[in-house]
């Protein structure tokens, strides 16, 4: 990558066979834009986790594309766009997304979906909603996770429970499909009967054995040409000397193991998920770009130690257009939490960092950055990956000088105001990871590459 002039630091960028882009916070860090920037250097772009809970916005030639299941590499003709086995696929949403892209003139012929990817069935969404409703009614709602209600957790649970799980390949195996749907409906009979009360005939039909089989068979036929052994496809790319870009969904702090459990999603968002979710071993990954916003956001419930409930928080939300791509929910906003980011960089082995939305902070007199927590009277700079402990953390801030000027037209580190450069250097020094990219606006060109 070209070095920007005038800055005294240089960091070598290796030429790896595989690169991963991963969020270092609670999702929505702007991964879509970075994947879009890096995609041209790669032969395939692959998703390895999550489902239609994710939302990537990419602006190309002034057109905004909102992608949920399909990797943003699809916007580059001739590239393979792979939905790996670790993704939970809502096949009806996938068809909707393919049709939406086609209507905007995007060639989707490079898309392949793993036959081993698990299917999000309509009853998974029903269960997700019922669980959230029940949790919202308990203890003043403090136990609700605030999921996207896209059936993600129930679909991953089904996979681990096995007997009633349906994989993409099963959609075109009638006998297997019938058996699995029957078992699922038997196991979920009580829940589905409860949900069906007061519903229309059409709604009740949508969760009946026959209704489910008919719908699943039809969507399976539609998607049959895209189904593939994506692990083999990816290894084929590598054996031909090609490069793969892995695109993580959600964020490290929403990872089911390493995030702020239980306020997390159902999958392995961290880079280690590439091994299980795409079948490509960790030894192939040479570059890991960790994406972080210049501040913090979180959608749904769970601790956000640096959360702002004041005018500054409101201003950041409006300037940063902090509303969910998938659900439209306003995002909770807070100061940058570097304790959390450093932890995420460590878990992912980030080789470089990209800071997004730095332009949103312009105009603030001073900017606070969290560098430690006080927990139970003890000061610590270690992130507790557990919601109960984190909920009791009081952030310790370092106040940095703000930068007044609009920076959305800046294209080199040298042209950034000195205070903005110091902010970037502070991130780098605190995390010990080089900042490779700084994004100052949604457009492709609004990017500073060091």
Residue of closest CB approach to ligand IMP: 300
Please tell me whether residue 359 binds ligand IMP under the rule CB under 6 A.
Answer: no
Cα–Cα distance for residue pair 257/49, rounded to 1 Å: 13
Please tell me whether residue 153 binds ligand IMP under the rule CB under 6 A.
Answer: yes
**Nearest distance from C-beta of residue 193 to ligand IMP, angstroms:** 24
Site string for ligand IMP, 292-321 (x = CB under 6 A): -------xx---------------------
Cα–Cα distance for residue pair 269/25, rounded to 1 Å: 11
Is 118 one of the annotated active-site residues of the chain?
Answer: no
151-188 as b/e, with b when 16 or more CB fall inside 10 Å?
A: bbbbbbebbeeeebbbbbbbbbeeeebbebbeebbeeb
Q: Give CA angle at 244 (356, 325), nearest 5°.
A: 40
Pairing verdict, β 44-47 and 366-375: unpaired
> Given the rule CB under 6 A, which of 83-91, 208-216, 260-268, 389-397 is the region that contacts ligand IMP?
260-268
CB 249 within 8 Å of CB 53: yes
**Nearest distance from C-beta of residue 23 to ligand IMP, angstroms:** 8
Q: Which string of DSSP letters, residue by residue, matches 188-254?
A: THHHHHHHHTT--HHHHHHTSHHHHHHHHHHHHHHHGGGEE-HHHHHHHHHHTT--EEEE--S-GGG
**Nearest distance from C-beta of residue 398 to ligand IMP, angstroms:** 26
Cα–Cα distance for residue pair 134/350, rounded to 1 Å: 39
Please tell me whether residue 88 binds ligand IMP under the rule CB under 6 A.
Answer: no
**Nearest distance from C-beta of residue 263 to ligand IMP, angstroms:** 6
Please tell me whether residue 67 binds ligand IMP under the rule CB under 6 A.
Answer: no
Residues in the chain: 450
Q: Give CA angle at 381 (376, 384), nearest 5°.
A: 65
Site string for ligand IMP, 207-246 (x = CB under 6 A): ----------------------------------------
Is 42 one of the annotated active-site residues of the chain?
Answer: no
> Given the rule CB under 6 A, which of 14-22, 36-44, 148-156, 213-221 is the region that contacts ligand IMP?
148-156
Q: What phi-psi label fits residue 61: left (phi over 0), alpha (psi between -120 and 50 degrees) or beta?
A: left
Which contiguous run of DSSP H or E holds residue 334?
strand 332-334
User: Which of 120, 145, 357, 438 touches ligand IMP by CB under 6 A?
Assistant: 145
CB 417 within 8 Å of CB 403: yes
Q: Which of 36, 42, 56, 68 is catalytic?
A: 56
Pick the closer one to ligand IMP by CB: 54 or 126: 54
Cis check: omega of the bond before 262, within 30 degrees of 0: yes
**Nearest distance from C-beta of residue 406 to ligand IMP, angstroms:** 27
Pairing verdict, β 394-401 and 366-375: antiparallel
User: Which of 22, 27, 70, 230 touches ligand IMP by CB under 6 A?
Assistant: 27
**Nearest distance from C-beta of residue 121 to ligand IMP, angstroms:** 15
Please tell me whether residue 152 binds ligand IMP under the rule CB under 6 A.
Answer: yes
User: Which of 32, 86, 110, 146 touches ligand IMP by CB under 6 A?
Assistant: 146
| Residues marked as catalytic | 28, 56
Interface residues toward ligand IMP, by CB under 6 A: 26-28, 53-55, 145-148, 150, 152-153, 249-250, 254, 263, 265-266, 299-300
């Amino acid at each position: 990558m070209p070095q920007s002039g005038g800055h005294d630091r240089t960091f070598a960028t290796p030429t790896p066979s595989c690169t991963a882009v991963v969020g270092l916070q609670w999702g929505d860090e702007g991964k879509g834009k970075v994947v879009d920037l890096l995609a041209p250097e790669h032969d395939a772009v692959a998703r390895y986790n999550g489902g239609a809970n994710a939302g990537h916005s990419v602006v190309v030639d002034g057109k905004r594309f909102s992608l949920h299941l399909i990797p943003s590499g699809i916007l580059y003709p001739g590239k393979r766009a792979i939905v790996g086995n670790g993704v939970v696929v809502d096949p009806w949403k996938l068809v909707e997304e393919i049709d939406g892209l086609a209507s905007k003139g995007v060639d989707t012929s490079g898309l392949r979906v793993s036959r081993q990817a698990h299917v999000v069935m309509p009853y998974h969404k029903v269960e997700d909603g019922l669980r959230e409703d029940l949790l919202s009614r308990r203890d003043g709602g403090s136990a609700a996770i605030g999921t996207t209600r896209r059936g993600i957790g129930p679909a991953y649970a089904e996979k681990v429970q096995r007997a009633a799980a349906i994989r993409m390949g099963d959609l075109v195996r009638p006998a297997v499909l019938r058996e699995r749907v029957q078992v699922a409906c038997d196991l979920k009979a009580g829940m589905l009967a409860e949900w069906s009360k007061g519903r229309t005939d059409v709604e009740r039909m949508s969760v009946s054995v026959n209704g489910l089989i008919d719908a699943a068979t039809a969507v399976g036929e539609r998607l049959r040409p895209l189904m593939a052994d994506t692990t083999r496809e990816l290894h084929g790319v590598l054996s031909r000397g090609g490069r793969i870009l892995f695109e993580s969904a959600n964020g490290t702090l929403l990872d089911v193991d390493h995030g702020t459990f239980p306020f997390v999603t159902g999958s392995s968002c961290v880079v280690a998920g590439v091994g299980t979710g795409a079948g490509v071993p960790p030894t192939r990954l040479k570059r890991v770009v960790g994406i972080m916003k210049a501040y913090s956001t979180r959608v749904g419930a769970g601790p956000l130690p640096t959360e702002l409930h004041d005018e500054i928080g409101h201003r950041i939300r409006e300037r940063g257009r902090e509303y969910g791509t998938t659900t439209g929910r306003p995002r909770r906003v807070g100061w940058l939490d570097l304790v959390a980011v450093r932890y995420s960089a460590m878990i992912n082995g980030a080789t470089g960092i990209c800071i997004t939305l730095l332009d949103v902070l312009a105009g603030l007199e001073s900017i606070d950055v969290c560098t430690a927590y006080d927990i139970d009277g003890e000061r610590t700079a270690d992130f507790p990956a557990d919601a109960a402990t984190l909920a009791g953390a009081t952030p310790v801030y370092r106040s940095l000088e703000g930068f007044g000027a609009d920076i959305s037209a800046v294209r080199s580190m040298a042209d950034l105001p000195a205070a903005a450069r110091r902010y970037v250097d502070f991130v780098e020094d605190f995390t010990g990871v080089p900042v490779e990219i700084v994004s100052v606006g949604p457009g492709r060109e609004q990017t500073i590459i060091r």
